[in-house]
Structure 1
Amino acid sequence: MSDDYRTLLRAMFDAAVGAAHPSVCLPAFLEKIAPPKGRTIVVGAGKAAASMAAAVEAHWPHPIEGLVVTRYEHGAPTSKIEVIEASHPVPDAAGRAAAGRILQKVQGLTEDDLVLALISGGGSALMALPADGVSLEEKQAVNKALLKSGATISEMNCVRKHLSAIKGGRLARAAAPAKVVALMISDVPNDDLSVIASGPTVPDPTTRQDALAVIAKYKIDAPAAVLAYLSTDACETPKPGDKIFDRVENILVATPQGSLDAAAAVASKAGFTPLILGDLEGESRDVALVHAGIARQIARHAQPIAPPVAIISGGETTVTVRGNGKGGRDAEFLLALTLALEGFGGISAIACDTDGIDGSEDNAGAIMTADSFARAAAQGVDLKALFANNDAYTAFEKLGDLLVTGPTRTNVNDFRVILVPGRAS
């Protein structure tokens, strides 16, 4: 039965990813966009940017030109839209150069022109154009510290926007008076448009004081130039109500909820009742404890619903790094779940990042089977010690349970399923 559950878990993950792939979700929205009298300039950033560009080329029958930036190894073949690859999650010089070229491409346009912006998760780090007075190295330092701090994606992007020359609505400001249509794949809780890739075409409701508060909250040792810049009004972003957004339309083409629904359909077909918890935030290990509690309650007491049940959730958890091991937030979640369910048999689970890369490793995530803890003990794998060292990657590598998919070229963030079978199973 373990192999059957592995197959089901993988099928649910594949369904979630497939529902958010640009080749599937983009065409219907492109059909609704009226072609301009003038030029169509395509720009974009994110882990899905290259596959979005390929979908535009396949389904937009009018002249186009442009440039998008995506993560290394996330490219896709295009002929009219240039694709540049850069570093994620820490920005590099390639991303800075790409962002500068994107900003140049949308400047000097007219009301007859259209800017088609392809925005997806990861775009904030990939489209890195530091504001005047802030160096790339200083922005990298802040970014690295935030990634290790446990800050939420909203908090990190608040800081990133205020240190950028292109994010936080500044891309839209540069494109005016052209019409701007942003097609967006959401990777953030509640589908907050201003947070997806730090909202380059979206009004920013946060302030520089908010950015400084995040730095203070997580005790980030920010360079002096960063703190000096955040102390000036020059770093402030365009706000809601600004007229530059009068000709801007931001459209969600794929969401985490859509992917959770696609996975739920697979679970239902397999005889599991889906229990969708939605988009969740928090420390990976804490979120795992909550999931474990729900799974035990279902198994023991058939509450809130009777098994067999597939507990499904998404969102973006965080990891406050204290050790020096390997592993992203999904492997960390799954190892915490394995430890929380020690001795509680019958339950299997998967935790993966829908972009195919869990943090900065080569795996999408991992799978936990009902006998994972017992197999680890038999092999002499100390799961608790590895967990204490933030070394979930090594734990599942030793068990042979890493899930390696390669880049999926989309991104609707974390994907988690826990299968709680009926007693007869």
Structure 2
Amino acid sequence: MRLRPCTVDALLALGQVALLALIGRGAYSLGYPPLDMRGYLLGLLVILPTLVRSRAPVAVCLVTYSTWVLYILAGYWPVVTCFGPMLCLYTVAVVRPTRTSGYLAVLLSAIWTLSGAGHDARFLAPVAAQSICLNALTWRMGYLARRSAELARRTREEHQEKARRAVAEERGRIARELHDVVAHHMAVISVQAGLAKFVFDSDAETARGALDTIAGTSTEALEEMRRMLRVLRSQEDDGVAPDAPMPGLARLEEMVDRVRAGGVPVEFRVVGTPRPVASGVELCAYRVVQEALTNVLKHARRASASVELRYHRDNIEVSVMDDGEGVIPDRVERGRGHGLIGMRERAKLYGGTISIGPRGTGGFAVRLTLPTSARAAPPGDDAIA
């Protein structure tokens, strides 16, 4: 059980009173007068301030020194009440700067040495050595306790800062994932809703197809949201794997079909031999393509686009290009928009490179290269990127 500071102070004061009562009468054998009523009263005056030493360490220390000097000048044995001044010196060394406690340590050693010299000059050297050694040890113990407390405080602050950074990073990952899930599907739904409204009276079949696309897209969006929530909950429940697969390269064609249904001609091609890729790398590539096509839907609807997935020996490359004239280049130059920032952060997370910018022949291009080796993907790459 941990004692409260006030309880510790009270116990230390009682210990000093017990010491005063037990060895006070033994002073006679050393040539000092035995404690009488005045001696006990002065001894208690030395002890009492130590009860509040934590509230005003320097002031209490000086008051204790002063009453101890009165006790010594009265001719009583200093050792009986020396624990109080030493305790106050230790407290100052714990909570105050080194220079302050150092001055008080020197002052206490001087008082102690002069008390011995005033009683018998023959004892000056041993008393001086005793006072210097004991007070230096007391000061050193307080100094080390203060350094230990500062180190513990800094360590605690560093841990808290790391925890805050981890929370901020997790919030950033969740925000990117929410942006990617919601923005793409809502862009498709918005385009299809506008199409259905436009042809509702004149072309029922086209309107029905648009509504079917809206229904399918909203269902997929809900499924991805549920999957993301399951991943987050599984991270809180000892890493239990979610039961829903993450979107990956195999679903790129489905995404392209949705964008085609939104009125943007999109060509999709795969170059090279498909092979297994780390699931986190797949998710990264999927989200970057999703964000790029979402920007095409928002800013270059009259353009045509192409998506290419290329398998190399040690990496994969995905590119999304369009031939429209949107406002995306301006956004890139200003560095705004969670989507563009998210694409760069995802590429960096998995050790890849990405280039985003306007094409020389018109339009816009996003090119992402990601390593496929297991070493390139960080541990736990099945988590939300």
TM-score normalised by the shorter chain: which range applies?
A: under 0.3
Which structure is higher in RCO with an 8 Å CA cutoff and minimum separation 6? Answer: 1
Q: Looking at CA atoms only, which structure, 1 or 2, has the larger radius of gyration? A: 2
- TM-score, normalised with respect to structure 1: 0.24
More helix by share: 2
- TM-score, normalised with respect to structure 2: 0.26
